[in-house]
Amino acid sequence: MTETEWLLEQAQQLADAATDYGQRAQLLALADFIQAQATRLEQAEGELDGRAWDHERW
Amino acid sequence: MKTLIVVGHPDLDGSSTQAFLQASAAGVPTAQWHPLTLNVAAERQALLAAERIVLQFPLYWYAAPAMVQEWLATVWTTRFAQQLAGKSLGVVVSLGRPLRDFHPGGAVGVSLDALLSPFAALAQTAKMTLLPPLAIAQFAYQIDAQRARLLVQYQQYLGLTVPSSFSAQAAWWQTQLAQQPQAALLAETLATRQARLESLRATLAEVKGDD
């Protein structure tokens, strides 16, 4: 299981257990943030890798 | 940041959208729910005390309801507007049609931005910072997940200086999750990832600077 998958699972479990609607809704919506953060991390890592492996810059 | 939510709805008690927004706003301690009145002195006092003013209404025949127009004409005179300089202005608008209708060539034929352009002019004249509008389309048809997303978007719209900033959203989540002790490990992991993201971005900025 990746860290992102673990985070999504945790958020879902906490949402399922929440008794307050506002807290539950926030935890459900947290999945969007987790995904967006994961995408940004992947893009930033990819861009850095791409630059490191660009032979024209060696 | 103190936020005043000026609610202009002709049938406030009968609106499930507004009831949902009111409950959501209750989760933002710095936001004040304020159904508009025509008590000029009290309205102006409330406006002056706020740093962000959010005008909230349903779209009726592609414009704000008449009560909002009347409120603007009565309370928000040109002279008074000068005292609002430097504040931010937000617009939360609920729609009876899907967002895809609001495009040139769509069922409405005009973009929502075009319909809301008077508020852009208002903000510009008053030297206020205009936020992109928060549009709520067909709330009655929204499923649980959409409403959860709306609650968060709305709370961030009310509470964040720049609601669209990702790092501001990350900090917002930390504040929210801190109120839920069972989410401590989740919050810590998210914070570590955010720190890694910001470090990667700083490195990228350096690398780009060397180009």
Nearest to B52 by CA among B157, B136, B126: B157
* Rounded Cα–Cα distance for residues B117 and B97 (Å): 19
Fold of the B3-164 domain: Rossmann fold (3.40.50)
Tens-digit pLDDT profile for residues B12-35 = 999 999 999 999 999 999 999 999
Question: Helix A3-17 vs helix A21-52: angle between axes, to the nearest 10 degrees?
Answer: 170
Sequence spans of domains, chain B: 3-164, 165-211
Is residue B210 scored above 80 in pLDDT?
no
Comparison of pLDDT for B133 and B207, the residue scoring more: B133
Q: What is the DSSP string of A17-44?
A: H--SHHHHHHHHHHHHHHHHHHHHHHHH
Asked if A48 and B194 come within 8 Å (Cβ–Cβ), the reply is no
Position A54 pLDDT exceeds 90: no
pLDDT digits (tens, 9 = 90+) for B63-116: 999 999 999 999 999 899 999 999 999 999 999 999 999 999 999 999 999 999
Enumerate the domain spans of chain A. 3-51
Judged by CB atoms closer than 8 Å, whether chains meet at B203 and A40 is answered as no
Is residue B207 over pLDDT 90?
Answer: no
Q: What is the pLDDT of residues A1-29, one digit of tens each?
A: 999 999 999 999 999 999 999 999 999 99
Q: Which residues contact B5 (CB under 8 A, 6 or more apart)?
A: B21, B25, B31, B32, B33, B34, B54, B56, B92, B158
Are B169 and A33 an interchain contact pair (Cβ–Cβ within 8 Å)? yes
- Residues of A at the B interface (Cβ-Cβ below 8 Å)? 3, 6-7, 10-11, 14, 17, 21-30, 32-34, 36-38, 40-41, 44-45, 47-48, 51
More confident position, A58 or B160: B160
In angstroms, what separates the C-alpha of A48 from chain B's closest C-alpha? 6
Residue of B170, B183, B197 lying closest to A44 (CB–CB): B197
Q: Which positions in chain A touch B142 (Cβ < 8 Å)?
A: none
